[in-house]
Amino acid sequence: MTQPWTLEDLVKDARGRVTEIAAEELHHGTSRQEMVLLDVREAEETAGGTLEGAVHLPRGLLELRVQEHVARRDTPVVVYCGGGNRSALAADVLLKMGYTRVRSLAGGFERWRRLGLPITGGAGVRPPPGKKLGWDEVRREFAIVARCVPVLGEGERALVYMDHAASTHAPSSVLGAYTEFVAREYANIHRGTHHLSRKATERFEECYGIIARHVGAELQRGTICFTSNTTQAIDLCAHVLAERPGLVVTTEMEHHSNELPHRRRGPTLRARVTDEGELDLGHLEELLRGNRVKLVAVTAGSNVTGVMPDLRRVARLAHEHGALVLVDAAQALARMPIDVRDLDDPEHIDFLAGAGHKAYAPFGAGFLYGPRALLSEVPPYIPGGGTASRVTASGAEYLPAPDRHHGGTPNIAGVVGMARALAFLQAIGMEEVREHEVRLTERMLRGLRELGGITLYGPPDAHKRLGVATFNVDGVSDLLTAAVLSEEGAIAVRNGRFCSHLYMDKLLAARAKAAGGEVPTGAVRASVGLYNDESDVDRLLEYVRRVRDRQWRGRYQVKGDVVSAEFAGRCADQWMEATKD
């Protein structure tokens, strides 16, 4: 009986047929113009960087998807992996599939890196000075674009992720900077004399400037306090203003996170929205005229309709009536240019809250920008380590902001990741990011309208909203629609009432009244991001059409908790899964 083959046997056998190329030759010699460079490593391996111009196609998807990337079989192809074994096996498969000019990179990515040859990602993709990152480069940064998920009866299919309004995936350069920090620079900040602590402190300190730049802030009179998410940043703002006399005015379009923290601290009023979901500025002015208002708390962009209130007018109105302005930038941070402006400008923004997990960074870090003096005059948000300059038996002298509000060790790596993600967005250019969103949103809104049998919420003009489309397929529940999109189309959207119950109640009721039907319990939300393209929007439209035509193939069963008072605060308590017949 012959011995079973080992990995070494398989690789040796493949190498008998496959030609290798040395890293030096690939770098210096051959023209890369026509060549396709295939990176066959797993997604997580690419976090440390990739070769410039490489297409990421994990080994497991090679046979299935190679044609999408290498249309002609006589195209020169170089395959690489971590150390050169998997790429030899992959190249051998390509030869068998009829690709005639395939080579495998000897020693793989590891040898390339050891030789100090250029890589992108990992330590950070930075375009050359004066050049912006192109959309192909941007898309290549996201391992998630190669992710497949199971679909009913069809094995697996490439995922279309359209849940960016909930959280965004991090690009490999951001993950690279994050893991590099955790692996090689991890140390607590401020209190250390040792080298690593000083390095970590340096990295942490430079994040203030990067975040400030992203929102147009200066850090003399303004400052930035780090939090764990947007909700906590808003809560910190509510804490800062809690003892001031006056009311807080929120709006009917706010996420619960920009409503409940204010309610907890005192009386609030709400500015109305129109049936289209836009902020009624006349009503806001009425509230400001008729009450002593200390703060207007408004979103820069709704997580439901994407509606972007006119922040300049809101700020001017608020300041004219002696109120401060807090902007919830959870959605807007990664989607549109933001400028808080100088504190002397009548249209400036006083406080701004945001978080990394909706701006292409890992979970766990957020921030509040605000006036240094105001943030420094109130008691610490959480008194504790790092907040005081001197503690005696009976008292404590607290540091000014931001340290005053950083009780305990902050999420140092999270802050590094958040700053790196904002730098990534800046490298693309926020005007370009916005244009990309408008283009895809226009396609999505037009497509949904043209389908018919769809109820869309919010204004029809993509220029008036962030890249979010919320809709119902008439006569089909949001739950079922989202389930079919996921289980049959591999499309990730969100459904329910999006932690914005007041706004959703109003939008759903207004539409049902206009159309004369029942009020739906929720809606479906598709939200685009940096790595979506037209084909993603088209897949969404195709599967919404199937739902409209009642052409789903599975039998769907409700899973999860029954909606009850106990769970009423959550955004969605149920989901659906398909079962095969």
Ligand X SMILES: Cc1ncc(COP(=O)(O)O)c(C=O)c1O
Q: Would residue 571 show up in a list of annotated catalytic residues for this protein?
A: no
Distance CA 383, CA 166 (A): 31
Distance CA 550, CA 531 (A): 30
Residue type, 482: A
Does position 230 interact with ligand X (CB under 6 A)? The reply is yes
Contact (Cβ atoms closer than 8 angstroms) between residue 86 and residue 40: yes
Residue type, 526: A
Does position 229 interact with ligand X (CB under 6 A)? The reply is yes
Does position 330 interact with ligand X (CB under 6 A)? The reply is yes
CB of 97 to ligand X, least distance (A): 45
* Of the candidate residues 55, 279, 293, 355, the single one contacting ligand X (CB under 6 A): 355
Residue type, 486: S
* CA angle in degrees (0–180, nearest 5) for 572-576-580: 175
- Judged by CB under 6 A, the stretch of 250-258, 260-268, 306-314, 402-410 that binds ligand X is 250-258
* Residue 57 vs 307, nearer CB to ligand X: 307
CB of 309 to ligand X, least distance (A): 12
CB of 328 to ligand X, least distance (A): 5
CB of 228 to ligand X, least distance (A): 8
Distance CA 400, CA 398 (A): 7
State the catalytic residue, choosing from 81, 207, 225, 499. 499
Does position 495 interact with ligand X (CB under 6 A)? The reply is no
CB of 24 to ligand X, least distance (A): 47
* Residue 119 vs 300, nearer CB to ligand X: 300
Residue where the block lists tokens 């190249």: 91
* Of the candidate residues 168, 331, 387, 527, the single one contacting ligand X (CB under 6 A): 331
CB of 355 to ligand X, least distance (A): 4
Distance CA 345, CA 502 (A): 32
Tokens of 439: 């283009």
- Judged by CB under 6 A, the stretch of 12-20, 109-117, 215-223, 225-233 that binds ligand X is 225-233
Cβ burial 491-508 (10 Å sphere, 16+ → b, else e): bbbbbbbbbbbbbbebbb
Q: Could you say which residues in the range 294-323 bind ligand X, by CB under 6 A?
A: 299, 303
CB of 331 to ligand X, least distance (A): 5
Number of H helices, E strands in the chain: 18, 24
* Residue 317 vs 359, nearer CB to ligand X: 359
- Judged by CB under 6 A, the stretch of 183-191, 218-226, 251-259, 383-391 that binds ligand X is 251-259
* Of the candidate residues 141, 235, 328, 488, the single one contacting ligand X (CB under 6 A): 328
Alpha helices in 452-500 (DSSP H): 478-489
Which residues does residue 36 pair with via DSSP β-bridges, in sequence order? 77
Does position 411 interact with ligand X (CB under 6 A)? The reply is no
* Of the candidate residues 122, 366, 380, 417, the single one contacting ligand X (CB under 6 A): 366
* Residue 331 vs 470, nearer CB to ligand X: 331
Chain length of the chain: 581
CB of 262 to ligand X, least distance (A): 13
Output the CA torsion sign for 312, 360, 479, 567.
negative
* Residue 330 vs 493, nearer CB to ligand X: 330
* Residue 258 vs 532, nearer CB to ligand X: 258
Site track 256-295 with ligand X (rule: CB under 6 A), x = hit: -xx-------------------------------------
Q: Omega before 150 cis (within 30°)?
A: no
Distances (CA, A) of 95 to 41, 79, 360: 19, 12, 38
CB of 452 to ligand X, least distance (A): 29
* Residue 436 vs 525, nearer CB to ligand X: 525
Nearest to 181 by CA among 144, 153, 207: 207
CB of 340 to ligand X, least distance (A): 17
CB of 299 to ligand X, least distance (A): 5
Interface with ligand X: number of residues (CB under 6 A): 13
Contact (Cβ atoms closer than 8 angstroms) between residue 215 and residue 329: yes
Distance CA 221, CA 218 (A): 7
HSE value, Cβ hemisphere, 13 Å, CA-based, for 20: 20
* Residue 177 vs 326, nearer CB to ligand X: 326
* Residue 147 vs 255, nearer CB to ligand X: 255
- Judged by CB under 6 A, the stretch of 31-39, 78-86, 254-262, 549-557 that binds ligand X is 254-262
* Residue 120 vs 257, nearer CB to ligand X: 257
Extended beta strands in 245-404, E state: 247-251, 268-271, 293-299, 324-328, 351-355, 366-371, 388-391, 396-398
Residue type, 182: V
Per DSSP, 61 falls in state G
* Residue 328 vs 536, nearer CB to ligand X: 328
Residue where the block lists tokens 């990741």: 417
Distances (CA, A) of 349 to 152, 316, 332, 344, 532: 48, 9, 14, 10, 31
Cβ neighbors of 320 (< 8 A, separation 6 or more) are 288, 346
Please report, to the nearest 10 degrees, the dihedral formed by the alpha carbons of residues 423, 427, 429, 434 taken in order.
Answer: -70
Radius of gyration of the chain (CA): 26
Catalytically annotated residues: 499
Site for ligand X, rule CB under 6 A: 229-231, 255, 257-258, 299, 303, 328, 330-331, 355, 366
